[in-house]
Amino acid sequence: MNAPHRVALAVANIRKTFPIRLGMFRAPLTLTALDDISFSVDEGETVGIVGESGSGKSTLGRCILHLVQPDSGKIEFYGQELTHLSKEEMRQWRQDIQVIFQDPLASLNPRLAVGDIITDPLRSFFPGMKRNERRARALRMMDEVGLLPEMINRYPHEFSGGQAQRIGIARALITEPKLIICDEPVSALDVSIQAQILNLLARLKEEFKLTLIFISHDLSVVRHVSDRILVLYLGRVVESAPAGDLYASPKHPYTRALLTAVPIADPKKARERTIEGLVGEIPSPINPPSGCHFRTRCPYAIDECARVRPPLDSAGEGREVACIRWKEIDALGMAAATRRPEEVEAALQ
């Protein structure tokens, strides 16, 4: 980026809860999907959002698009506040914010031909556009994403997952958006196809000067594409850092645990390693642990962790960590992450 950083998207204190009705006479429970999330995305940047399933990644993406309405907080897109727009105004803004979905086949209407699927946004945003013009644009976009022109009249079930995802990408690009939210775009694909799609996204990003938000549970995928990474745990940001730094020296115990959980191809090395923490499942977002949400699975947890919600502290060079003990843990180095819990305990005392 040669131009001064322009903030494309600023998300401030977003909260989203879902009521869970138990019946007519019982008070509904609340599921907190997003708990006070703030971050910003610069123009031209790729921000990766990682977390386990249930951490609120996808809900965050849908909130930005206003496919689900956030309970509170602000979402600003190029300085324009989106949260208070009317339905119709928001509809117009969707031209500039598009989305690529996780399940490529499910995101295509089985009754429409590919050409119609790709040009569907054009029909909505430019109702006056001629059919020929739309088809011409579809063909151009299909060429961009590596689909053959004769596929234009085929139907989704005739395509493989990778091709279907290319159709999804073509549809997202056809309105020439500024920001694309990729919601696990490759997790449903074979590894070899994943690489193709990721490279395609990288090329299109340069070509169309896109800003990307890349949601995934796969750390190696996110690392490949992101400039900056946000780690989510139970609806909260636990760490945010430039991609290189995060992988080199993760500071939050959760990030450390995630990174040690990335599979290693060499079975010998894999056997020598024990994974830090991360025993058990992610707690239920209906009744999350008090204080730090991660404390129930954290090898470094102390009593203090149950009392206060750890603030998102600045940890130097554009990094932020939400852990009250991050400095102590950081001092242990990454080697500690692959040690047994008893050893870690000993080192800390």
Partner 1 sequence: MAGITGKDAILTRYAARLDELDRAKGQSLTRDAFRRLRRNKAAMVSIVVITLIVLAAIIGPYFMPWTVRQVDYTAFRSPPDWSKFHYLGTDQNGRDLLARLLQGTQMSLLVAAVATVVSVTIGVTYGAVAGYIGGRVDAIMMRFVDVMYALPYILFVIILVVIFGRSPVLLFIGIGALEWLTMARIVRGQTLSLKEKEFVEAARAGGARTRTVVFRHIVRNLTGPVVIYATLTVPEIIITESFLSYLGLGVQEPLTSLGTLISNGAAVAEVMPWLLIPPAVVLVTLLLGLTFIGDGLRDALDPKDR
Task: Give the shortest CB-240-to-partner 1 separation in angstroms.
Answer: 25
The correct pick among 9, 56, 70, 101 for binding partner 1 (CB under 8 A) is 101
C-beta of 67 vs 262, nearer to partner 1: 67
Contact between 103 and partner 1 by CB under 8 A: the answer reads yes
Task: Give the shortest CB-109-to-partner 1 separation in angstroms.
Answer: 5
The correct pick among 52, 71, 76, 120 for binding partner 1 (CB under 8 A) is 120
Contact between 18 and partner 1 by CB under 8 A: the answer reads no
Task: Give the shortest CB-195-to-partner 1 separation in angstroms.
Answer: 23
With CB under 8 A as the contact rule, which of the stretches 6-14, 72-80, 114-122, 302-310 interacts with partner 1? 114-122
C-beta of 152 vs 348, nearer to partner 1: 152
Near partner 1 in 182-241, by CB under 8 A:
none
The correct pick among 65, 142, 282, 324 for binding partner 1 (CB under 8 A) is 65
The correct pick among 72, 80, 109, 314 for binding partner 1 (CB under 8 A) is 109
The three-state (H, E, C) secondary structure of the chain, written as one string = CCCCCCEEEEEEEEEEEEEECCCCCCCCEEEEEEEEEEEEEECCCEEEEECCCCCCHHHHHHHHHCCCCCCEEEEEECCEECCCCCHHHHHHHCCCEEEECCCCCCCCCCCCCHHHHHHHHHHHHCCCCCHHHHHHHHHHHHHHHCCCHHHHHCCHHHCCHHHHHHHHHHHHHCCCCCEEEEECCCCCCCHHHHHHHHHHHHHHHHHHCCEEEEEECCHHHHHHHCCEEEEEECCEEEEEEEHHHHHHCCCCHHHHHHHHHCCCCCHHHHHHCCCCCCCCCCCCCCCCCCCCCCHHHCCCCCHHHHHCCCCCEECCCCCEECCCCHHHHHHHCHHHHHCCHHHHHHHHC
The correct pick among 13, 69, 80, 124 for binding partner 1 (CB under 8 A) is 124
Contact between 348 and partner 1 by CB under 8 A: the answer reads no
CA angle 193, 199, 201 (to 5 degrees): 105
Contact between 23 and partner 1 by CB under 8 A: the answer reads no
- 205, β-bridge pairs: none
Near partner 1 in 153-172, by CB under 8 A:
153-155, 157-158, 168, 171
Task: Give the shortest CB-93-to-partner 1 separation in angstroms.
Answer: 9
Contact between 121 and partner 1 by CB under 8 A: the answer reads yes
Task: Give the shortest CB-213-to-partner 1 separation in angstroms.
Answer: 13
Applying CB under 8 A, the residues found at the interface with partner 1 are 62, 65, 67, 91-92, 94-95, 98-99, 101-103, 106-114, 120-121, 123-125, 150, 152-155, 157-158, 168, 171, 175
